[in-house]
Structure 1
Amino acid sequence: MRPYDAFLLISFGGPEGEDEVIPFLENVTRGRNIPRERLAEVGEHYFLFGGVSPINQQCRDLLAAVTEDFESAGVDLPIYWGNRFWTPLFTDTLEQMKQDGVRRVLAVPTSAYCNWSSRTAYLEDIDRARAALGEDAPEIDLVRPFYDHPGFVEPLAEYTRDALDRLPEDQRRGVRLLFSAHSIPTEMAERSGTPGRTYGPAGAYGDQLQAVARLVVERLDREYPYEVVYQSRSGPPSQPWLEPDVNDRIEELADEGVPAVVVVPHGFVSDHMEVKFDLDVEARETAEKRGLGYQRALSPGTHPAFVSMITDLVREYTGQAEQQRLTTLPSCEMEQCSC
């Protein structure tokens, strides 16, 4: 096992004031020729919340909890944090680590799954930042996708039970669970995974999402009907993305006479802007417009089991703990994955 001399949390980043919204969105979309009017449209989502994305504070809260858990577990590593698209920027954090004499880093992304945007893009950012720093740049290992770690699944199950409990009993009897994840282009999804293996129509990413949904339902008091839906599509209308959209599916379920839905954001590790707007605003409005009961489960956030999972991953990578997985799906880290 490789020795590490620092821990790094890598996240997406988000604005923390109205004047930061458009510059942040420009960072996210740089090189993609996104029209200015589209940035302004997405910016309105942030302005509903005063221009403040929850994600940075969620990272601060998570790091505070991880610091305590490291101390309790005897993990003696300095903790750093860097974002891909807003301050503290990952490139600046890497420069600081270099100045601090850090040489080998174990990094955890705020993304549990394996596809291009949730893993490969992180690896590419790491390579670019290290190349910019030169030969003395710290080496960085990104931990494996952790979607099937008990520390990710158990909080989702607990928060799904809580959401079900908030429904009136008559609605709970006929409720449909909608497990929601970020949509990606179907072409990207279909080519994700290990070459030579057979996956479902949404590729390895879809198989992972289906597996987590099943694991959560197995931990409930009974087997509720459930399905995986998608949200936060951002591509042009001509480009196919994974479906069904959560709002479209709510409309269909209303036509089928389903009395209520519980939406579980199992594709996310915290309740950041895409959860707060796409689910707490848009999806809720769709359900209420059609007369459906609506509850949304929390994402793992700073649940103690999720915090301990991060410590467990560090211990796993330093040879102090066994790997914990609840599925036998191929690992993007261990196999030649084309995500």
Structure 2
Amino acid sequence: MGNYDALLILSFGGPEGPDDVLPFLENVVRGRGVPRARLMEVAEHYLSFGGVSPINQQNRDLVEALRPVAGVPVYWGNRNWRPFGEDTVLRMRDDGVRRAAVFATSAWAGYSSCRQYYEDIARISVEGGPELVKMRHYGDHPGFVTAVADHTRQALERLGRDDARLVFTAHSIPLAMAETAGPAGGLYEAQLHRSAELVNRALGRTRPWDLVWQSRSGPPQVPWLEPDVCDHLRKIDAPAVVLVPLGFVSDHMEVVYDLDTEARQVADELGLPMERASTAGVHPAFVRMVRELMDEPEPAPCALTCCPPPRRPGAPRA
């Protein structure tokens, strides 16, 4: 078993006010050569919500939900905004933490969704500080599946029709990155397909479902996973739709902007009845899952060649 004396929630981070937006985005794209104009475009997405990303409050809620069940102190740190992971690890060292389980707020294989968290762990580790052990991918864990299925069921009930088509969404990534995800490649897409099937099965549904992509960024000449959710809605042959943001564990900016704003606008233009399911969030089954992951044997480390970093500069996406 893990034998941990603390739990670290390691996340992406997000701004908490208008003055935070540009510094946060500059942290996200540091070293990637993203044009200033693109930063300003994405900044407007955040500013339309008061400059506050929901992800930080979602993480605070998750930390509070975990405190009664984790059995160890629970800490939280981010890659791109306060509280930064390196500051959190220094506090853990000062608190005498020796070995901590790391729960990354991304469930999937891939460079951005997994390998980069390993890089974060290496970067924020300090001499005399705790050993940090990243827990496994969890998109197929019954706790995650139950949480997503329950929230999807609630969306179907709000829509008031059982004939709605389920459209699962996840963050698009460059095809080159998708092809190198996991030891043999293609694992990002395969895990999401598997999770969507498990959710559909948990709902007792036999109707077809779709897996589509959202939040694409980067140069247009670089191929990314398709179809985009908005393009898919324009072509879909269905009486109603429930969007299920399967690729995300909290309702952060990419969910509330790309789905609740952009996709909602497309559905309204089409006259297509649509509801959006909540993400796992602090569903009790999801919270229990984090505790159960801590009780599993320590995962074997990935090979250094697994999920290599992208070769091309990218761009942020709100």
Question: Which residue does the alignment assign to 1:144?
Answer: 136
CA distance in 2 between counterparts of 1:286 and 1:333 reads: 44
Aligned-residue offset at 1:69: 2.0
| 1:85-234 pair list within 5 angstroms | 85-130=80-125, 133=126, 135-169=127-161, 172-173=162-163, 175-195=164-184, 203-234=186-217
SS of aligned partner of 1:43: helix
Aligned-residue offset at 1:3: 2.9
CA distance in 2 between counterparts of 1:284 and 1:222 reads: 24
Q: Which amino acid aligns with 1:32?
A: R
Question: Which residue does the alignment assign to 2:314?
Answer: none
Aligned-residue offset at 1:317: 4.2
What percent identity do the matched residue pairs reach? 53
Aligned-residue offset at 1:5: 2.0
Aligned-residue offset at 1:271: 0.5
Q: Please say if 1:285 is aligned against 2:265.
A: yes
Q: Please say if 1:241 is aligned against 2:224.
A: yes
SS of aligned partner of 2:100: strand
CA distance in 1 between counterparts of 2:287 and 2:45 reads: 29
Contact 1:10–1:82 at 8 Å: present in 2 too? yes
Question: Which residue does the alignment assign to 2:25?
Answer: 25
Question: Which residue does the alignment assign to 2:283?
Answer: 303
TM-score (norm 2): 0.92
Change (3 A) 1:268 1:36: same
Structure 1 residues 264-290: Cα deviation after superposition (integer angstroms, max 9, x where no partner): 001010111100100000011111111
Count of aligned positions: 306
Contact 1:27–1:85 at 8 Å: present in 2 too? yes
Structure 2 regions of 5+ residues with no counterpart?
A: 308-318
Structure 1 residues 50-76: Cα deviation after superposition (integer angstroms, max 9, x where no partner): 111111111111111101223xxxx2x
CA distance in 1 between counterparts of 2:218 and 2:270 reads: 27
Structure 1 regions of 5+ residues with no counterpart?
A: 319-331
Change (3 A) 1:26 1:296: same
Contact 2:2–2:296 at 8 Å: present in 1 too? no
SS of aligned partner of 1:8: strand
Aligned-residue offset at 1:334: 6.3
SS of aligned partner of 2:278: coil
SS of aligned partner of 1:50: coil
Q: Which amino acid aligns with 2:239?
A: P
Q: Which of 291, 302, 306 is equivalent to 1:338?
A: 306
SS of aligned partner of 1:269: coil
CA distance in 2 between counterparts of 1:178 and 1:333 reads: 33
Question: Which residue does the alignment assign to 1:324?
Answer: none
TM-score (norm 1): 0.87
Contact 1:145–1:333 at 8 Å: present in 2 too? no
CA distance in 2 between counterparts of 1:270 and 1:52 reads: 14
Contact 1:143–1:313 at 8 Å: present in 2 too? yes
Contact 1:147–1:208 at 8 Å: present in 2 too? yes
Q: Which amino acid aligns with 1:27?
A: N
RMSD: 1.6
CA distance in 2 between counterparts of 1:112 and 1:94 reads: 22
Contact 2:110–2:180 at 8 Å: present in 1 too? no
CA distance in 2 between counterparts of 1:167 and 1:8 reads: 37
CA distance in 2 between counterparts of 1:152 and 1:301 reads: 10
CA distance in 2 between counterparts of 1:334 and 1:204 reads: 16
SS of aligned partner of 1:80: strand
Aligned-residue offset at 1:188: 0.6
Aligned-residue offset at 1:4: 2.0
Change (3 A) 1:335 1:59: closer
Q: Which amino acid aligns with 1:163?
A: A
